[in-house]
Structure 1
Amino acid sequence: MSQHTTDTHAMMQPRYTGIPTFMRVALADNWDDVDIGLIGVPYDGGVTNRAGARHGPREIRNQSSLMRTMHHVTRINPYALARVADLGDVLFQRLLKHPEALDEIEAVFARVKSHGIIPIAAGGDHTISLPILRALAKDRPVAMVHIDAHTDTWDEFQGSKFSHGSPFRRATEEGLIDPTKVIQIGIRGAQNTTDGWDFSREKGMRVVFMEEFAEIGVDAVIAEARRVVGDAPVYLTFDVDGLDPIYTPGTGTPEIGGITTLEAQKLLRGLRGLNYIGADVVEVAPNYDTTGNTALVAATLMYEMLCLIAERLAATR
């Protein structure tokens, strides 16, 4: 990665050739020449039911070979605007010790931040957003756009404070996110208690339940997200179970009645120009989807995020 623009030669080759990397970009051994880093976090130690998201990054890489360079709507070519590289995966030494594994994730993203890189992570379960925020938002609380079927603001599960149902409760408690600048979109599904919903509301998060999303439409939700976030530094997190499981069956906690892929793309494209500090796509569990479609959807969402962040970077230079 010595060039100031991303080498797109590999992207022009047949898409079944080469070593799989995110979007077929170069695998970076030197992080000094990278603006946007695509990074896998193969961890699902926080799942409460169906495991398998640890295999998400590998399959998302495979399916991202189907991505091309230029966006058909915005005509953005992110590789012409920023230096993009695959940073590999977070590697673990204490994978089975949950809090320590989260520390390891945090340490990698602290290194990413120290190089001035904006990360787009592929999970892994939604627990990974907490250590990423610990690294990226260490100095001040940030805003957040959160697309999901669940608020992920629940408390302890089976005696653990850390699970894929609790990252944004912990992030609020730790001062990593400003709850008054958080919007949660697509929330739905029955629960055994109201704890998570209540926490989000009481802390000032804007919760857009799926019924409201369907009633007011994507454009109104975009406007509301932009109002909530404003010009604050913002983290973008997308749990694929926010989509209807007809599009993403390969996930741990599917909920019917969700967002369509077309609505998701329109939603993300409506968030152009925000002050992004990072993003993630999480909860792809390929073992529940033999078609590979869930990972393809996630790869496409990552590409949409890449376009957003590259455009923002170019505009601020």
Structure 2
Amino acid sequence: MKKYFPANALETPRFCGIRTFMKLPCVRTTEEMDFAVVGIPFDTGAAFKPGQRFGPASVRENSILLRPYSLNLGVDIFEWLSGVDYGDLSVLPGFIEDSYRLIEAELTPLFEAGVVPLSIGGDHSITLAELRAAAKKYGPVALLHFDSHTDTWDNYWGKKYTHGTPFRRAAEEGLIDGTASIQVGIRGSQYAAEDLEVSQRLGIEVITANQIHELGVGQTGELIRQRVRDRKVFFSFDIDFVDPAYAPGTGTAEVGGFTGYETMALIREAKDLNFIGFDVVEVLPALDPAGITAQMAANVIHEFISILALRKKRDSESYAAG
């Protein structure tokens, strides 16, 4: 029996108790656990509509209906994994570089202990600090990035750190290996014809939303696996990857995206990759009155945790078979 697992909803109603992710115990430890759900309530990097600082609370609120068994992957998460809600990290609203230092410092012990952090943003600027912490343990990692934007612009208004620049900075700092990295779902209007070439010059492969719609889920998954191979992977998921019809609560929505079904199917195509970290970002509760965006984000996290459980199950079965 794993040490950390959710309260049993058949014994206590889901609406009772403190709102942690999936009703996991709120524990600050790096011992006896496989993953930690971490809130990073920072939105100073948002270039258009702020309010993502309230994303972690909303996603947690909308996670309480999630159950431990994954029907899609055929695995009971907590038969194989121990996990906690780690609470929120400290940030300084208005001070992005100071917040980066705090985020990096608080995530580093998790990576060092081999725990997989599952961070809830917050705007996408936070991922740079996460990658800095990951690189201390793993060196340059492969990046799997689901988004409608590449987030590789050089600056906004002369400022180098925003939610539109984290992967440009990460590549420049040597935190990611572009030759094993891929951005998936890119779409919408651009500033110039050369915008996508920025990612390509950084060595990162780009699959646009139109290409995915034409190729289908299976072929897209094959491209992802061929790119990443057996590298250690950080998975960054911007909720605006999902079409705004299914996830309206975000600050820079782009039409022509993906349904909830397509999103989950595309995530499962990555189930054989070697993940070391994950985040879901850009949930903006003020634009999400029915909670469907936060519900989508919570289910994305559940799908990712299920992938971790499936990998642990397979490793255990392989070891038992000799």
- Would you say same fold, with TM above 0.5? yes
The letter for the 1-side match of 2:308 is I
Residue in structure 2 matched with residue 152 of structure 1 by the alignment: 151
1:262 Cα offset (Å): 0.5
Fraction of identical pairs, as percent: 38
SS of the equivalent of 2:200 reads: helix
1:314 Cα offset (Å): 4.0
SS of the equivalent of 1:43 reads: coil
Name the CA distance, whole Å, in 2 between partners of 1:316 and 1:72: 20
Summarize deviations over 1:11-56 as a string: whole Å, max 9, x none: 4332211111011111113331221101111001100000011000
Name the CA distance, whole Å, in 1 between partners of 2:203 and 2:28: 42
1:200 Cα offset (Å): 0.6
Q: How does 1:57-206 map onto structure 2 within 5 Å?
A: 57-92=56-91, 94-138=92-136, 139-194=138-193, 196-206=195-205
Name the CA distance, whole Å, in 2 between partners of 1:77 and 1:45: 38
Name the CA distance, whole Å, in 2 between partners of 1:37 and 1:198: 35
1:194 Cα offset (Å): 4.4
Deviates more, 1:107-116 or 1:75-84: 107-116
1:158 Cα offset (Å): 1.3
Q: Contact 1:241/1:248 (CA < 8 Å) preserved in 2?
A: yes
Name the CA distance, whole Å, in 2 between partners of 1:29 and 1:101: 19
Name the CA distance, whole Å, in 1 between partners of 2:244 and 2:181: 25
Q: Contact 1:239/1:282 (CA < 8 Å) preserved in 2?
A: yes
The letter for the 1-side match of 2:273 is L
Summarize deviations over 1:191-234 as a string: whole Å, max 9, x none: 22345412111222111111111111111100000000000000
CA gap 1:52/1:195 in 2 versus in 1, 3 angstroms:
farther
Residue in structure 1 matched with residue 256 of structure 2 by the alignment: 257
Q: Contact 1:5/1:80 (CA < 8 Å) preserved in 2?
A: no
Residue in structure 2 matched with residue 277 of structure 1 by the alignment: 276
Q: Contact 2:73/2:307 (CA < 8 Å) preserved in 1?
A: no
Deviates more, 1:96-105 or 1:217-226: 96-105
The letter for the 1-side match of 2:149 is H
SS of the equivalent of 1:32 reads: coil
SS of the equivalent of 1:276 reads: strand
Summarize deviations over 1:123-182 as a string: whole Å, max 9, x none: 111111110010012342111111100001111111210111111111100111111111
What TM-score do the two structures reach when normalised by structure 1? Answer: 0.95
Unaligned runs of 5+ in 2: 317-322
Q: Contact 2:7/2:24 (CA < 8 Å) preserved in 1?
A: no
Unaligned runs of 5+ in 1: none
The letter for the 1-side match of 2:215 is I
Name the CA distance, whole Å, in 2 between partners of 1:260 and 1:109: 32
SS of the equivalent of 2:69 reads: coil
SS of the equivalent of 2:75 reads: coil
Name the CA distance, whole Å, in 2 between partners of 1:110 and 1:316: 25
Q: Contact 2:121/2:280 (CA < 8 Å) preserved in 1?
A: yes
CA gap 1:163/1:254 in 2 versus in 1, 3 angstroms:
same
Q: Alpha carbon RMSD of aligned pairs, Å?
A: 1.4
Name the CA distance, whole Å, in 2 between partners of 1:89 and 1:8: 18
Residue in structure 1 matched with residue 286 of structure 2 by the alignment: 287
Name the CA distance, whole Å, in 1 between partners of 2:193 and 2:168: 14
What TM-score do the two structures reach when normalised by structure 2? Answer: 0.94
The letter for the 1-side match of 2:235 is L
Residue in structure 1 matched with residue 319 of structure 2 by the alignment: none
Residue in structure 2 matched with residue 31 of structure 1 by the alignment: 30
Q: How does 1:193-232 map onto structure 2 within 5 Å?
A: 193-194=192-193, 196-232=195-231
Name the CA distance, whole Å, in 2 between partners of 1:8 and 1:172: 37
Name the CA distance, whole Å, in 2 between partners of 1:159 and 1:144: 26
The letter for the 1-side match of 2:60 is R
